[in-house]
Amino acid sequence: MQKNALRSRAGYVLTDHGSGTTRFLTKTLPRLKLFCNRFHGIPGRKIKTVMKLTALILLVGCLHVSAGTRSQTVSISGKDLPLTKVFNLIKKQTGYAVFGKSSLLRQTDPVTISAVNMPLADFLDSVMKGQPIGYRMIDRTIFIVERSTPFRSAEQKTTVNGQPLSLDEPTPRQTITGTVVGENGSPVEGVSINVKGKKSGATTDNKGKFSISVEPDQVLVFSHINFHPREINLKDFPANGRIVLKQKEATLSDVVVTGYGNVRKESFTGTYTQVTKADIQKVTSNNLISALQVFDPSFRIMQNNLMGSNPNVLPEFYIRGQSGFPGIKELDKLESGSSGVSQFALKNNPNTPIFIMDGFEVAIEKIYDMDINRISNITILKDAAATAMYGSRASNGVVVIETVLPKPGEFRVNYNGNYSVTAPDLSSYNMMNAQEKLDAEYAAKIYEPYVPPSDPGYKANLLEGLWQMQQKKNEVLKGVNTYWLSQPLSTMINHRHNVYIEGGSQGMRVGIDLKYDNQNGVMKESFRKRLGAGLTLQYQTTKLQFRNQIYFDAVNSEESPYGKFSDYTRLQPYFNMYDENTGRYVKELPNYNANQVLNPMYESTVGNFDRARYREWTNNFTANWFVTKFLFIKAQFAVEYKDANTDKFTSPESALYGRTDLFTKGELNQTATKNLSWNSNVFASYNRTIDAHNINVSLGVNGRSTRSEFSSALYRGFANRGFNSPAYAFEITRKPDRSDNLARLLGSFATLNYSLNNIYLFDGSFRMDGSSEFGTENKWAPFWSVGTGMNLHNTKYFKNFPYINMLRVTANIGQTGKSNFSPYMARNTYKILLDDWYPTGIGSSLTYMGNNRLTWEKQVSWNIGANLTLFKRYNIEFNYYNKRTYDLITDVSLPSSSGFLVYRDNIGEVLNKGFEIKTSLNIINNKDFSFTVIGNLAHNRNQIMEIAQSMKRYNTRIDDYYGGYNNSTSPSLILYYNQQNAKFAKPIMKYEEGSSLTTIYGMRSLGINPANGKEVYMRPDGSITYDWSPMDQQPIGNTEPWAQGTAGINARYKQFSLFTTFMYEFGGDLYNQTLVDNVENANLAYNNADRRVLSERWQKPGDISTLKAIQDRYFVTRPTSRFLQRNNYVVFNSLSLGYDFDPAWLKKKLGMSFLRTSFLMNDVARFSTVKREMGLDYPYARTFTLTINASF
């Protein structure tokens, strides 16, 4: 089949094998070819037809495959071959496209030729010898043109080929042509060729070719920014026209992608990390954000121990330390009862960097759901010089993502498939089994009454307790030993497919992107499904380029109906989840303590669900206008529409509704969010090298508008699980609620990048931002940065050290901002009181006390850095930074007689300083074997310099909160109080000047008194006590590590490649909450616990132990330094092993141009000094992925 298709593409074998597709192809292709041939100079309507047809063919069975080898040589032999046939063969063999008027070819004569592996250019020259046509090759396209002067001269060149130019030609002026190549033989584009002393000149095309009109005896000067200039006297002009230029050391023709145009890497003074798609694919198969951690030590994801590997939880992260107070503080979260990480909390995370995708700011969720195959490259911009052009959004760093653009040429199909196995990782759990648990209960004497033996009820209570123990023992003897941990989990197989079809002419290109991704989480039935399709069209002439990308994405996700993992981990192993008689799940588990326990396994069967989905349309239009060689204007306009819904249903059959009224059973909560945003950038960029000066200036404006609408409704009373649509609800519990929000941003910016002799560098940028969210008195904000640097390796002195390929020092300073406050916070706003009307009409009231002077948060940061490359193989980069974030937006408390409790003002200051080291050592590099070691490290220190009064009040609120601890030892209520007090076991962060945003507060502990198993504390004044008091809390540790980073190796042997990464962290502290909750405070009467309860708790006088007495059920251990542990760890983050198939073999055997398979494993192993349970509400998982990348 494939072969047929191939042949029919070639156009001269039109066999019908009965396949409809083939028939279709044979019918349409000749027509298509005709269109293509006519393309040069025909109106756009027909191009469209071609496009449509092409797209159609591509979609029908994806048969449009080509054996194009991309080689630049041809082997064609034959007698009297018509040129049409010759070009078909060229197309087939080289993969080059051929365009031109077909009428031109009709005028040509057939040729007789015998060529074996002849270079294409030579071949074309020879077949066109004496013909009325010429050609021009641009990229991978051969344009057939009528023979005109320049091409005639090319003809001439071939005729003079072999002999030096004769000086006594009758015409003194002549045109010479040639090719400029580098030392490695590859052609060099953009070399300017000047006649010495004259203004006239030429430039090489992308094949390195040039032609220039000269007089004899003149001297030609070849110059290019990355090459040493060369002068050649025409007398010495080589016969084959081949000019070799010597490359300058450490070629960095690359550019830094800033999102607003590209800046030459060599002259850029900002700090950034650039990552390509290939790099990312080595580390992850689908989690882009976590992969970025590997490449930049300052990019860090906050570990979410609660949500583990839940595919539906977005990560929280920051760059170069945290610099803002959280939007919702810990205590407020606790008191409002909202869960840990919601979308809302993330929006309020004051440290999240912004993401710019193809010039357009996008939400984190979009990045999270993005297919990594769409990425071309990612740049993390870190300091002021790199980010200042983002103005009021820049302070947290900017991550710029560029997506792939279709490449011209024959249509190619790229397939990427991932097949992975995800298995839950329970290695951090160490729960007791039924027998052990029973032993522990005996040891803890939980059967013993709380009343003293003198009490008259003592004996009865004791008997009751023993009776219950006996019942449990009977269960154990019956063989009940439920391993609850594994019940809601399963090992999942996931697969993901991406097809990218690209191709077209140099002038018109098409890219079609299709993706399917199904990620099942390890909690049963939790998943995230992503579907996407995109179409990219690009039209290009020599001066203009238009590109339109349209994308549609659909994501459906569902949380596990099995509920939270933590609902299982604490269940007693001697509980039988099945009814002994019926074999079905029991609704309630046995009740030994007058404490109702629902069976979560039963709950999983009643039909609860928690679903979310969104649909997103994005259209991104870009126009590039290359006004002159130096001036370039770009205009971008992007529109995005997103429609998201969530449905959360609690089935009426849930055991939660045991005794409630029929009409109130079952609940459905629906929310809908609609976002419409647009973004427009227009900027001009002027880039020119004049002698030793290189100037790059950009000017532009940027406007953005985001409108969001949110609505929610709560329905109650459902007949059964199937009737879960709102239509079946008995009532609307709450009037559907709707809110909307519009935010706009307008900015104009200018940047300048200048270098002198490629040695002295200067960067400057300025941006003015206006935001609808700022106060009326401060609508506009200026931001700026300046940077300077020196390329020492280009100086004369360092030329003496040829092994120093690069040595650059840079320094920059700038002011950026961030505005992470809620919309309208700066303004006096009225809220319409919709709940009910006053008899004389609808009313409204002031929402907050606006602050007209409210401004963005500001950050002044400076950075000094050095970058060194030795022997072209060893690279090391060092940066030291200091970021002072001030005017932090915080609540300022007011006396309530002002009418309000708080208003927002700019108070507060946070300092982050630290350094980063990045190294890459290419130790072995030869044809078959290469071995590179990479490593990076970042150190950051965070300090709160100033806080508002309200933060101090917040601190006292924390003390009040702990004051809620109930000290009562009333025997009958002790277990009740124990449960009520359990929440006080968690340390809550305070904000104090001089400490950091990651400080842990608690009582300083002196350990467990071996005499009685009680903890001894030391107060800040040095006195010793048994009593825990919130006032005596002090900073006991800091979660921020001294350093963190990544190390890894990247090795290649022949076609095998190996990439491993290890992430490490040391010097930070961790409060071992699971040790507190599950061992120290374990409530053995109600819950299962860690095995360490039996082995590590104090049992009798004289025991030297770090954990309190096992018999102690009275007191909940509140934050103490006893549970503070040094958190040093190394995670074997990823291991990937890949194999690249030999292209020649592939072409021959499979007709493919590229095939790579790789095996990837994430979270291979973890070595940590802290032993704690990982993944509380959702377990962690290990993933094994097999990836196939193929191109046809």
Partner 1 sequence: MRSTQYWKLLLLLPVLLNMSCKKFLDVSSSNQVLEETMFENGEGIRVAVNGVYKMLSTTDLYGRNLTYGVISAMGYNYDINNIPYDYREAARFNWEVSTAQASMEQIWQSAYRTLANCNNIIQAVEAKDTTFFSESANEKNMILGEMYGIRAMLHFDLLRIFCPAPVTGFAGPAIPYVKKYPETQPERLNMPAVFTNIINDLGQSRSLLEKIDTIYLRTVMRSAVGRIRNPGSWIPLPQGDFFNFRAERMNYFAATGLLARVYMYKGDYEQAFQHAKIVYDAHKRNWFTWTSSIYQGQITDVDYIYTKRPDEIVLSFANGQNYNNYDAQTLSSGIANQFYRTPPSYMNKLFEGDLDDYRIVGWYNRYADERYITWMRPKGNSYNATNLAAHQGPLLPVMRFTEMYHILIEYHIRQGNIPEAVSIFNTLRTNRGAKVKILETISAPDLMEKLVKDIIRETMTEGQTFFLFKRLNRNIFNGDNNIIMAPEDWFAPLPLSETNYLL
Query: Which residues within the stretch 27-56 sit at the binding site for partner 1 (CB under 8 A)?
Result: 44
The one segment of 431-439, 847-855, 988-996, 1057-1065 that binds partner 1 by CB under 8 A = 847-855
Nearer to partner 1, 265 or 779 (CB): 779
* Burial group, residue 1073, by CB count within 10 angstroms (0-12, 13-18, 19+): middle
Choice between 237 and 625, CB closer to partner 1: 625
Q: In angstroms, what is the minimal distance from the CB of 507 to partner 1? A: 11
Tokens 């590109």 correspond to: 547
* Residue of 841, 926, 1023, 1102 that binds partner 1 (CB under 8 A): 841
The bridge status of strand 242-244 relative to strand 209-214 is unpaired
Question: Minimum distance between the CB of residue 617 and partner 1, rounded to whole angstroms?
Answer: 20
Using CA atoms of 1133, 1135, 1140, 1141 in order, give the dihedral in degrees to the nearest 10.
-140
Within 662-691, the residues that bind partner 1 by CB under 8 A are 680, 682
Stretch of 547-555, 823-831, 992-1000, 1180-1188 contacting partner 1, by CB under 8 A: 823-831
Quote the CA–CA distance of 1070 and 1041 in Å, as a whole number: 10
Report if residue 723 touches partner 1, rule: CB under 8 A. Answer: no
By beta-carbon proximity to partner 1, the closer residue of 618 and 1117 is 618
Q: What is the DSSP string of 270-288?
A: S-EEEEEHHHHHHH-SS-H
3-class secondary structure, 568: helix
Q: Which residue lies nearer to partner 1 by CB, 823 or 1035?
A: 823
Residue type, 476: V
User: Between 12 and 830, whose beta carbon lies closer to partner 1?
Assistant: 830
Q: How big is the CA angle at 220 (ends 217 and 224), to the nearest 5 degrees?
A: 175
Question: Which residues within the stretch 545-564 sit at the binding site for partner 1 (CB under 8 A)?
Answer: 546
Question: With the C-alpha atoms ordered 232, 237, 243, 244, is the resulting torsion angle positive or negative?
Answer: negative
Query: What distance in Å separates the CA atoms of residue 809 and residue 792, rounded to the nearest whole number?
Result: 8
Distance CA 115, CA 94 (A): 14
From the list 176-184, 380-388, 809-817, 830-838, the region that binds partner 1 by CB under 8 A is 830-838
What end-to-end distance do the CA atoms of the chain give, in Å? 14
CB of 1135 to partner 1, least distance (A): 47
Q: How far is the CB of 1032 from partner 1 (least distance, A)?
A: 23
Nearest to 938 by CA among 812, 1064, 815, 1071: 1064
Residue whose C-alpha is closest to residue 1084's, from 592, 714, 691, 528: 592
Query: Is 115 an interacting residue with respect to partner 1 (CB under 8 A)?
Result: no
Q: For residue 1181, which of 381, 391, 459, 422 has the smallest C-alpha distance?
A: 422
CB of residue 548 vs partner 1: minimum separation in angstroms? 12
> Does residue 740 bind partner 1 (CB under 8 A)?
yes
Compute CA distances 200 → 83, 194, 212, 215, whole Å.
37, 6, 9, 12
* Site stretch for partner 1 (CB under 8 A), options 229-237, 344-352, 806-814, 825-833: 825-833
Q: How far is the CB of 774 from partner 1 (least distance, A)?
A: 8
Beta strands in 899-1023 (DSSP E): 902-906, 909-925, 929-946, 999-1002, 1004-1008, 1015-1018
Q: What is the DSSP letter of 104?
A: H
CB of 779 or CB of 986, closer to partner 1 = 779
Residues 947-966 that bind partner 1 (CB under 8 A): 953
Q: Where are the alpha helices (DSSP H) in 988-1060?
A: none
Cβ–Cβ contacts within 10 Å for residue 820, how many?
A: 21
CB of 340 or CB of 843, closer to partner 1: 843
Q: Per CB under 8 A, which region of 691-699, 900-908, 1001-1009, 1116-1124 contacts partner 1? A: 900-908
**C-alpha radius of gyration, the chain, whole number:** 36
629 in contact with partner 1 (CB under 8 A): no
Residue carrying the six token digits 């449905």:
647
Nearer to partner 1, 844 or 972 (CB): 844
Closest CB to partner 1 among 835 and 1021? 835
Residues 162-221 that bind partner 1 (CB under 8 A): none
Number of residues that bind partner 1 (CB under 8 A): 64
Under rule CB under 8 A, residue 839 binds partner 1: yes
Closest to 13 (Cα-Cα) out of 21, 31, 25 = 25
3 state SS for 395-416: CCCEEEEEECCCCCEEEEEEEE
Give the tokens for residue 975.
């277990």
Give the 3-state secondary structure of residue 173.
coil
Query: Interface with partner 1 by CB under 8 A: which range of 198-206, 556-564, 734-742, 1129-1137?
Result: 734-742
Record the tokens describing residue 289, joined without a space.
């954000």
Closest to 1065 (Cα-Cα) out of 1047, 1091, 1048, 1078: 1047
Provide the minimum distance between the beta carbon of 676 and partner 1 in the complex, in angstroms, as a whole number.
Answer: 13
Among 12, 837, 929, 1145, binds partner 1 (CB under 8 A): 837
Taking the complex as a whole, how short is the minimal distance between the CB of residue 635 and partner 1, in angstroms? 4
Applying the rule CB under 8 A, the residues between 755 and 784 that interact with partner 1 are 770-772, 779
Find the shortest distance in angstroms from Cβ 988 to partner 1: 21
CB of 783 to partner 1, least distance (A): 17
Of the candidate residues 1, 833, 973, 1144, the single one contacting partner 1 (CB under 8 A): 833
Stretch that binds partner 1, among 121-129, 539-547, 607-615, 1014-1022 (CB under 8 A): 539-547
C-alpha torsion sign, points 1021, 1025, 1031, 1033? positive
DSSP string for residues in 649-699: EE-TTSGGGTTS-GGG--EEEEEEEEEEEEEEEEEEEEEEEETTEEEEEEE
- Told to check if 299 binds partner 1 by CB under 8 A, we report no
Which of 300, 716, 827, 1182 binds partner 1 (CB under 8 A)? It is 827
What's the min distance (Å) between Cβ of 895 and partner 1? 4
For 1058: left if phi > 0, alpha if psi spans -120 to 50, otherwise beta; the answer is beta
Of 949 and 1055, which has the nearer Cβ to partner 1? 949
Q: How far apart are CA 1090 and CA 1068, in angstroms?
A: 25
Q: Does 544 contact partner 1 by CB under 8 A?
A: yes
| Residue selected from 160, 469, 656, 742 as contacting partner 1 according to rule CB under 8 A | 742
- Tell me the C-alpha to C-alpha distance, in Å, between residue 13 and each of 8, 30, 95, 770, 923: 5, 11, 18, 64, 52
- Judged by CB, which is closer to partner 1: 514, or 901? 901
Residue 734 found at the interface with partner 1 (CB under 8 A): no
CB of 743 to partner 1, least distance (A): 7
Pick the stretch among 92-100, 516-524, 742-750, 1119-1127 that binds partner 1 (CB under 8 A): 742-750
Tokens of 1126: 């040094």
Residue 829: CB minimum distance to partner 1, A: 5
Q: Decide: is 344 part of the binding site for partner 1 (CB under 8 A).
A: no
Out of 428, 847, 1087, 1106, which residue is the one contacting partner 1 (CB under 8 A)? Answer: 847
* Contact between 626 and partner 1 per CB under 8 A: no
Nearer to partner 1, 22 or 506 (CB): 506
Question: Which residue's CB is nearer to partner 1, number 44 or number 994?
Answer: 44
Part of the chain binding partner 1 (CB under 8 A), chosen from 366-374, 759-767, 829-837, 978-986: 829-837
Instruction: Compute the distance between CA of residue 121 and CA of residue 111 in angstroms, rounded to an integer.
Output: 16
Applying CB under 8 A, which residues contact partner 1?
A: 44, 541-544, 546, 623, 625, 633, 635-637, 680, 682, 701, 703, 738-744, 746, 770-772, 779, 823-824, 827-847, 849-850, 893-901, 903, 953
